[in-house]
A = this chain, B = another copy of it.
Amino acid sequence: MILLLGGNGYVGSAIQKNLTGRGLPFTVASRASSDYSSLPVLVKMLRELRPEFLINAAGYTGKPNVDACEIHRTECLDGNAVLPGVIREACEQTQTPWGHVSSGCIFTGAKADGSGFKESDAPNFSFRQDNCSFYSGCKALGEEVLSGAENCFIWRLRIPFNNINSARNYISKMMRYDRLLMATNSLSQLDEFADACVASWTQRVPFGTYNLTNPGSVTTRDVVRLIQKHGLSNRDFQFFESDDQFMKLAAKTPRSNCVLDSTKAIAAGLPLSPIEDALESAMKHWI
């Protein structure tokens, strides 16, 4: 049995769907009924349930967006930096292998030659660079807390989307925002991301960190063109003139825009389709 923490969030729901589709038995732990952020509670839970694997999809992302983390600092630190450390300790005490949903938002830009950041590159959008949002800082600290963890996957998600309209879906956001920021990003098709997380366990991929983004990167304009091509929206998309204008008018904290290299995940046999295909497919089957 697989124990799933944070099973009711945007990512957790996709993982539930994947596990169900694969016919894998799982239990969703609810923090409301049993607060797994407490080490003794989680250790007890693991001793009783004896899951073969634990998936942590719990975290604090901020509503309606990452700006909220600038105010809800305690929850953000607790959910994104301390919780992974508590889970690590509990999993080490009970020898439970596990995986943690991290984020690619601990990087900004691309490497000097335009290529994406690899798992061996140190985060460059974090408290240690003093250039980041509180959210990204906490996510990077969460990875620091897991440094050296055994029997542990760190799965990096970036800007999730799929074919189902939702407040958290990147394509939906593009269509909803008044004005867009011109940027280049790697993205994660949510269902492929969930599939890759579960596959990394079922296929016994070596433990470690994986950038689970669809190979390649796209610009905001690329996504807009696809939205228009597939007739998802016929509105006139407006762009901010500059990052400065975006920061002045729309944002409280800097956003991560970055290119990640997912070669390691692909080489390990994890299923992630090229980003253009994933976007085309989501829009073709848009619901």
- Which residues of A does B touch, CB under 8 Å? 35, 38, 73-74, 77-78, 81-82, 85-86, 88-89, 126-130, 137, 141, 144-145
Contact = CB atoms under 8 A, between A and B. Distances in A.
Q: How many copies does the complex hold?
A: 2
A78 B73 contact: no
Given A78-B82, A127-B128, 6 more contacts: A77-B77, A78-B85, A126-B127, A127-B141, A128-B128, A129-B130
A73 B146 CA distance: 9
Contacts of A77: 77, 81-82, 85, 141, 145
Contacts of A38: 35
A161 to B, nearest CB: 31
B85 A74 contact: yes
Nearest to A144: B73
A191 B73 CA distance: 33
Contact of A127 (B73, B74, B89, B137): B137
List the 9 closest A-B pairs by CB distance, nearest first: A74-B85, A127-B127, A128-B130, A73-B145, A78-B82, A77-B82, A127-B128, A77-B81, A82-B82
B74 A145 contact: yes
A44 to B, nearest CB: 15
Contacts of A86: 74
Contacts of A82: 74, 77-78, 82
A73 B128 CA distance: 16
Contacts of A74: 82, 85-86, 88-89, 145
A157 to B, nearest CB: 22
A128 B35 CA distance: 31
A144 B74 CA distance: 10
A23 to B, nearest CB: 35
A133 to B, nearest CB: 13
Listed residue (A74, A82, A126, A129) with the most chain B CB atoms within 10 angstroms of its CB: A74
A128 B141 CA distance: 12
Contacts of A141: 77, 127
A82 to B, nearest CB: 5
Contacts of A81: 77
A230 B36 CA distance: 54
A85 B73 CA distance: 8
A164 to B, nearest CB: 34
Nearest to A78: B82
Contacts of A126: 127
